[in-house]
Structure 1
Amino acid sequence: MTAGADCAGDARPQMDLDEFEELARRAPELVRLEFINGKVQVKPASDGNHGEIVMWLLEQCMHQRPDLRLYPEQGLKVDAYRKCRARPDGSVAPRENFVGQGEWAEPSGVLMAVEVTSRDTDTNKRDRVEKPDGYAAANIPLYLLIDRDAWSLTVHAEPKNGEYRSTRTYDFGDVVQVPDPVGITLETEKLKDYVD
């Protein structure tokens, strides 16, 4: 996928961005929508283990970096990447970064986007391919993928020209040094308890 293309890539988008935002605004509370590659995507509901992983990371962030917050499910405008709207499982940003921004916030100020893989057929394309491209194009310094299928964490860093230039994968159980600007250490042994 090439950064800078329109939201649909080579195909026509299902709808324009304003139509999507209106649809997302009117969607029932239990439905979480994203607009990726010109297509409306329903983000799968979190299961208990997925939610526990997000809470585990939230606790790690607040303990080690009390100046930062992990904001679950904050919608982001990833306009640099095909004018899309993404809803990461978590966005690490300074306290009060999203005050007054509404449902779809600018990604400036986000230091790390976080995704935890879900048990659905689109997770490979969405979390391992499309989301890293989108977050890199939006210049989010880090993308952390917690991959329950592979029992691994992948830290993507150094965004440039719509791609992360550095990618490093760790197994559950490893000690992971998340680089600056987040700068935390994750002891990941506990994640083995949250895999089905």
Structure 2
Amino acid sequence: MVRPLDERFRTARDLFPECRVETVQDRIVVNEPGTWQHNTILFRLLLQLVGTAARQGWQIWPNITVHLGEHADRYVPDLAVVPASPRMHEEHAVHGDATLLLADVVSMGSGYDDYYVKPCGYAPARVPLYLLIDPFQRSVKLFCDPSRGGYATEVVVAVGEPLPLPAPWGLAVDTARLM
């Protein structure tokens, strides 16, 4: 008998606590910790977001599972920005619609999932903003205006161009400072 995916997900998460464990299209994906380049990009993004987040009383979390629905995938973005008291599904999973921004840095094996699969899961769960930083393409993509059918707006800029974040952010990401 095959165990339910949620049970296998919890087992994998328990077996690999130092890794990011996600379910993506009925697959359990175990991602190793990021490289120094990956982590440097995240640090530089964090430096740009932290002032606004602190002024608004928001929190920035690494390595939190995003609950997208009862029978949906479970993604773990590189960074999640959440309000002071977000609605939680479990202690390790925040509801997608309780987030303010999710961010991922594309790694060698994650491109397809990051560009195509995750936006299709995040939009129906009402994740308001999904920021995707691609060091290989030297671009930054922002998905916004979620609906059941996907994101209505996708903005792509080359590294070096500013990327304005919509309200309530009041901030443009300086993409030149990311890489």
TM range (shorter): 0.7 to 0.9
How many Å separate the matches in 1 of 2:124 and 2:174? 29
2:119 match: secondary structure: helix
Q: Size of the alignment, in residue pairs? A: 176
- Correspondence 1:22 to 2:10: yes
How many Å separate the matches in 2 of 1:22 and 1:72? 18
2:98 match: secondary structure: coil
Q: CA RMSD of the aligned region, Å?
A: 2.1
Q: Percent identity?
A: 26
How many Å separate the matches in 2 of 1:16 and 1:162? 27
User: Which residue is equivalent to 1:145?
Assistant: 132
- What is the TM-score when the length of structure 2 is the normalising length? 0.88
How many Å separate the matches in 2 of 1:118 and 1:159? 24
Question: CA 1:64–1:104 in 2, change beyond 3 Å: closer, same or farther?
Answer: closer
User: Which residue is equivalent to 1:74?
Assistant: 64
Question: CA 1:162–1:102 in 2, change beyond 3 Å: closer, same or farther?
Answer: farther
Q: Which has the higher contact order (CA 8 A, sep 6+)?
A: 1
Q: Deviations over 1:6-28 (max 9, x none)?
A: xxxxxxxx852332343134223
User: Which residue is equivalent to 1:6?
Assistant: none
- What is the TM-score when the length of structure 1 is the normalising length? 0.81
How many Å separate the matches in 1 of 2:37 and 2:61? 18
User: Which residue is equivalent to 2:98?
Assistant: 109
The letter for the 2-side match of 1:64 is T
- Correspondence 1:155 to 2:145: no
Contact persistence 1:111–1:181 (CA under 8 A) = no
* Unmatched 5+ stretches in structure 1: 1-13
Question: CA 1:45–1:25 in 2, change beyond 3 Å: closer, same or farther?
Answer: closer
User: Which residue is equivalent to 2:86?
Assistant: 97
- Correspondence 1:134 to 2:121: yes
Deviation, structure 1 residue 100: 8.9
Aligned residue among 35, 48, 62 for 1:60: 48
How many Å separate the matches in 1 of 2:43 and 2:87? 19
Question: CA 1:188–1:34 in 2, change beyond 3 Å: closer, same or farther?
Answer: same
The letter for the 2-side match of 1:90 is L
Deviation, structure 1 residue 190: 1.8
The letter for the 2-side match of 1:160 is S
User: Which residue is equivalent to 2:152?
Assistant: 165
The letter for the 2-side match of 1:78 is L
Deviation, structure 1 residue 35: 0.7
Deviates more, 1:14-23 or 1:60-69: 14-23
Deviation, structure 1 residue 57: 1.6
